[in-house]
């Protein structure tokens, strides 16, 4: 998998899958994380997603654990110039929100942990309506002009707010959100399809959805009545409904016909959607990563079974 995709309205050429870094320093320790990152690059990957808040939720963690591991890995491998790094600001309890002051402080924290002087793609991790969009976008624009950030994106924004942000950027001559990272997968298609997708299409930007394999549900490791020991099992249980089991059965059948993993089919479906650039999926082990990296393109007929 050596092909690259240019994300519209950026100069970022990325691999067809973005590796989610939420597990690094959480369910994957440093050694496991390095192994997954090495395998990802060896398989042709170059796009890695993280956030300052990963993994503050774990006992004894303060946030920034994922960024720190990624930074140490890039330093050890000497490959910073070959990697596209996306990280985020707004959700860390010690660096909350999207005020100018907070963005300016948070970016320095992230740069230090990542052992780099620039971030390729910097996201607003959520829509902070307590701060004016002009203040937030003005801060991001300052970072772009300073060379500390190459492109900016929004995460967990509604379509309406994304369009409003674009108008603010245009009116002030600020950098514009070029990527939307929202929840979207085969078993959770709303509200993305009805709300965000039309705005993404109108703006001509890319959707880079998270939970591409639905917290592992679409990999097939969860089955009705089976008890799985996993830190993410509780999150996957929200998908345990009859209609989703039916979708999973279709994914499993098609994967069997194509001789690929369930994850490969789920991610191929996402890539085929008109507003999607690259899906995000995470892997705790090299074995899990191998399933994600089985690149396949689905025909219109194959895609139609999920309509």
Residue of 54, 123, 222, 239 with catalytic role: 54
Burial class of residue 188 in the structure, from the number of CB atoms within 10 Å of its CB (0-12 exposed, 13-18 middle, 19+ buried): middle
CB-based contact 179:206 (threshold 8 Å): yes
- Told to judge if 177 belongs to the known catalytic residues of this protein, a careful annotator would answer no
| CB within 8 Å of 63: residues ≥ 6 apart | 52, 53, 54, 55, 56, 92, 93, 94, 95
What span, in angstroms and rounded, lies between the C-alpha atoms of 161 and 180?
11
Please tell me whether residue 173 adopts helix, strand or coil conformation.
coil
What span, in angstroms and rounded, lies between the C-alpha atoms of 229 and 54?
21
CB-based contact 118:110 (threshold 8 Å): no
Question: Cα–Cα–Cα angle for 9, 271, 43, nearest 5°?
Answer: 95
Peptide bond into 55 cis (omega under 30): yes
The residues annotated as belonging to the active site are 54
């Amino acid at each position: 998998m050596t092909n690259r995709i240019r994300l519209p309205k950026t100069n970022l050429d990325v691999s067809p899958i973005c590796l989610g870094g939420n597990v690094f320093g959480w369910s994957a320790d440093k050694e496991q994380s390095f192994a997954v990152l090495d395998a990802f690059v060896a398989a042709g990957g170059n796009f890695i997603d993280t956030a300052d808040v990963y993994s503050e939720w774990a006992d004894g963690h303060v946030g920034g654990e994922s960024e720190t591991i990624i930074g140490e890995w890039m330093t050890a491998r000497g490959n910073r110039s070959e990697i596209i790094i996306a990280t985020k600001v707004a959700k860390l309890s010690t660096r909350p929100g999207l005020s100018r002051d907070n963005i300016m402080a948070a970016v320095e924290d992230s740069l230090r942990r990542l052992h780099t002087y620039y971030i390729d793609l910097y996201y607003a991790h959520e829509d902070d309506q307590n701060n004016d969009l002009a203040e937030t976008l003005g801060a991001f624009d300052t970072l772009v002009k300073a060379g500390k950030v190459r492109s900016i994106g929004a995460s967990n924004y509604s379509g309406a707010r994304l369009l409003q942000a674009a108008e603010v950027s245009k009116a002030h001559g600020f950098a514009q959100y070029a990527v939307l990272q929202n929840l979207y997968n085969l078993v959770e298609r709303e509200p993305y399809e009805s709300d965000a997708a039309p705005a993404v299409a109108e703006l001509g930007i890319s959707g880079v959805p998270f939970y591409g394999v639905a917290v592992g549900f679409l990999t097939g490791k969860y089955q009705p009545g089976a008890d799985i020991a996993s830190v993410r099992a509780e999150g996957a249980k929200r998908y345990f409904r009859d209609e989703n089991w039916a979708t999973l059965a279709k994914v499993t059948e098609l994967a069997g016909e194509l001789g690929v993993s369930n994850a490969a089919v789920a991610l191929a479906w996402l890539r085929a959607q008109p507003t999607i650039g690259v899906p995000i999926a995470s892997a705790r082990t090299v074995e899990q990563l191998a399933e994600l990296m089985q690149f396949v393109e689905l025909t219109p007929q194959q895609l139609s079974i999920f309509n």
